Amino acid sequence: MTKAIQGIDKETAPGGGAVAATTVTARGTEPAAGRGAALRVEGAGISFGDFRAVQGIDLDIPAGEFLCLLGPSGCGKSTLLSAMAGFIQVSEGTLTADGAPVRGPDPELGMVFQSSEALFDWLTVKQNVTFGPRMRGMSRAEQNGVADEYLGLVGLRHCADRYPGQLSGGMRQRVQIARVLANEPGVVLMDEPFGALDAQTRQVLQQETARIWSASGCTVVFVTHDIDEAILLADRVAVMTAGPAASIKSLYTVDLPRPRDESDPAALRLRNQLREDIGEEVRKAMRDQGLDDQLDREAKGA
Ligand SMILES: Nc1ncnc2c1ncn2[C@@H]1O[C@H](COP(=O)(O)OP(=O)(O)O)[C@@H](O)[C@H]1O
Ligand SMILES: [Mg+2]
C-alpha cells in the first residue's frame, strides 16, 4: 500500500526527478553526482533454521533514494538490512543491486552499524578510513587523498592520527560513515546508526547525513525506530509489520522540502499517521509476547 501525505506530490515536485538526489548549493538546487545503485527486493523471505523472520518483502528502491525502514523492535529490520549488505542470503525470492543478485559482502554495499565497535580499535582513524581502498591495492598517495576527502566530509581531518578509543561516540560514528564512503559505495545501509548517541549529537549527525547523502548521490537504506528521524531524512518511509514472518506494511512518500521543518503541518500529519501505523504493530507484537496485560496493569497503577 502506498500512501502519499498531503503536501507536494513527488511526481510534480519542483525540480522534477521523483527520487533524484539533489545538492543544495549557494546557487540553488543541482542534481547530485548520482552514483547510487538501485536495490530491488522481490518476494524475499529470510529464515533462520525453522524460524521465518521476514516473508514476502517487496521493495523497489531507485538509485539515489533515501529510504527509512521503521518497525517494532525484533520485527526483522536488521535482518533485511543484513541481506541487502550481503551478510546473509535470502531464503526465498530475490534481492538485486543494479540488477545483479547480492551474493555476499561487497564494497559497493556499505554498512554503518549502531555500535562503533565495528571500527578497528588498533588502527588510527585514517587507517580505518583507508582500510578498504588499501585492501583493493590503492597507492599510498591515493589513500591519502581518500582519507583527506572523506575525513573532511565528516569534519574529522584533525583526528586522522587518533585511535577510535580516544574519540567520542559521535566522532566514532562519523569515522564509520567516512570508512564506508571511502569505498565509494552505490548503497549505504545504516542500522540505527545514531541510536546510542545523546539527542544533541544525534541531531547534528542527522543533519550531516542529509548533507552527505545529498552531495554523494548514493542510495541510502536507513533503519530507525525514531519516527522524527525518518521524517527528517527520508524520501520514503517503509513500515514493517510485527514479526515473525514480517513484511512491508505500508510505504509513505515524504514530499517535504529540504531541509525539513518538523513543525510543518504536513510533517505533523505524517508523524501522527506513522505513530498510529507503527503503534498498531507494536501492540500486536506485545500481544504475541503476552506483554499487553502487564502494560494494562502498569497503566492502571497496579
Ligand atoms: N542469526 C539469527 N538466528 C536466529 N534468529 C535470528 C537471528 N538474527 C535475528 N533473528 C531473529 O529474527 C527476528 C528479527 O530480528 P532483527 O532483524 O534483529 O529485528 P530488528 O532489527 O527489527 O529489531 C528476531 O526474532 C530475532 O530474534
Ligand atoms: Mg535491529
User: pLDDT for 200-220, tens place per residue?
Assistant: 999 999 999 999 999 889 999
302 confidence band (pLDDT: 50, 70, 90): low
Nearest CA to ligand 1 atom 27: 74
State residue 286's pLDDT score: 86
Q: What secondary structure does DSSP assign to 222-286, as a single string? A: EE-S-HHHHHHH-SEEEEEPPSSSB-EEEEEE----SS--TTSHHHHHHHHHHHHHHHHHHHHHH
The predicted structure's pLDDT at residue 3 = 47
pTM above 0.85, yes or no: yes
How is the chain split into domains, by residue range? 2-8+21-108+186-289, 121-184
For the domain spanning 2-8+21-108+186-289, the CATH number is 3.40.50.300
- pLDDT for 297 equals 74
For residue 66, give the C-alpha cell.
Answer: 533515501
Q: How far is the CA of 265 from the centre of ligand 2 (A)?
A: 30
> Atom 8 of ligand 1 has which residue's CA nearest to it?
79
Confidence check: pLDDT of 300 > 80: no
Q: Which ligand is nearest to the CA of 72?
A: 1
Q: What is the mean pLDDT of residues 162-169?
A: 96
Cβ of residue 79 lying under 6 Å from some atom of ligand 1: yes
Cα–Cα–Cα angle for 87, 99, 112, rounded to 5 degrees: 35
1-23 pLDDT per residue, tens: 444 443 323 222 233 333 333 33
Q: Residue 243: CB within 6 Å of ligand 1?
A: yes
- Looking from the CA of residue 192, the nearest atom of ligand 1 is 21
Q: Which tens digits make up the pLDDT trace of 112-157?
A: 998 878 899 999 999 999 999 999 999 999 999 999 999 999 999 9
Ligand showing the shortest atom-to-Cα distance for residue 285: 1
Ligand nearest to the CA of 80: 1
Q: What is the pLDDT of residues 279-289, one digit of tens each?
A: 999 998 888 87
Rounded to whole angstroms, how far apart are CA atoms 242 and 77?
Answer: 10
**Cα 71 to Cα 241: distance, rounded to the nearest angstrom:** 7
